Amino acid sequence: MGIFWEIALDIMLPRACAHCREDLDRASGPLCRKCAGALPAPPEPACVRCAGHRRGASPFCADCVGRRFSCRLIRAAAAHSGPAASLIHAFKFRGSRPAAQAAGRSMAAALVLRPELSGFDALAAVPIHPRRERERGFNQAEIIAREIAAATGLPLLDALERARAGAPSWRMGRAERRAELSGAYAPREGAAALVAGKRVLIIDDVAATGTTLEACASALRSSGAVDAAGYAYARAGSLT
């Protein structure tokens, strides 16, 4: 499409910010510059595993200390509120690929603020069931992960699959999520050759209870991954 057609479309069909609904210029992403610069940060200091409040000098919160997890730690680039929540709504419920790409670029930029997420060998996106992917048209976690892979040079491994469909987990409480996701994620055929001996960073759009990331980490470790951590665009509530 030529530049004159793009300008004409901007005039006839102006784009709006996913959060404040102000008109966007052609150079802007799904969020206007003001909203993109106002993403709510996750609270700090935080437990290295769940991002909850630490207990004294311990790196863990009271709920995580002494517990064993397949997903060693979970981090997010933003809190699930304000412009961040609007961007997520755009790609999850309005089918906006550019919104998912913008989330991935934001996460890649925020990695420098997360030294605990350095040193990983590869990325893996949280998979969705093929039926859900056909309905939405894409897996938002994969699009996000591709942006991070492009920025970091880390390979994106196709090592996980959603073994069975389920109800939308955001509607469930913590105990229901754990029951629903038990056995829902599995290593793909040949995953062991991809992840054996590697430290894998699992990418998702939203982390709520951490159940999804824990299930994916368990599947990766069963295939020989020596370490697994989770990195999401936004954190919703407590992950303990």
Q: What integer pLDDT is reported at residue 195 of this predicted model?
A: 97
Our count of domains for the chain comes to 2
pTM score: 0.84
Q: List beta partners, residue 185.
A: 162
Question: Do 214 and 129 share a structural domain?
Answer: yes
Q: Quick one: 24 and 44 in the same domain?
A: no
- Are 115 and 140 within one domain? yes
Q: Are residue 100 and residue 216 in the same domain, yes or no? A: yes
Domain extent, residue 17, equals 1-31
Spell out the residues 6+ positions from residue 24 whose beta carbon is closer than 8 angstroms to its own: 14, 15, 16, 17, 30, 32
Where are the alpha helices (H) located in 80-129, listed in sequence order?
A: 82-93, 97-110
Query: In angstroms, rounded to a whole number, what is the distance separating the alpha carbons of residues 83 and 97?
Result: 16
Q: What is the pLDDT of residue 204?
A: 97
CB 164 within 8 A of CB 240: no
Q: Residues 6, 96: one domain? A: no
Task: With both helix axes pointing from N to C terminus, report the angle between 140-152 and 82-93 in degrees, rounded to the nearest 10.
Answer: 120
Counting every residue written for the chain, the total comes to 240
Cα–Cα dist 140/109, whole Å: 18
Per-residue pLDDT of the chain (240 residues; tens, 9 = 90+): 444 444 444 444 457 889 998 887 766 679 998 898 888 887 665 676 766 667 677 777 777 777 888 998 899 999 999 999 999 999 988 889 999 999 999 999 999 888 989 999 999 999 998 888 888 899 999 999 999 999 999 999 999 999 876 655 555 555 666 666 767 899 999 999 999 999 999 999 999 888 899 999 999 999 999 999 999 999 886 554
Q: How far apart are CA 164 and CA 139, in angstroms?
A: 15
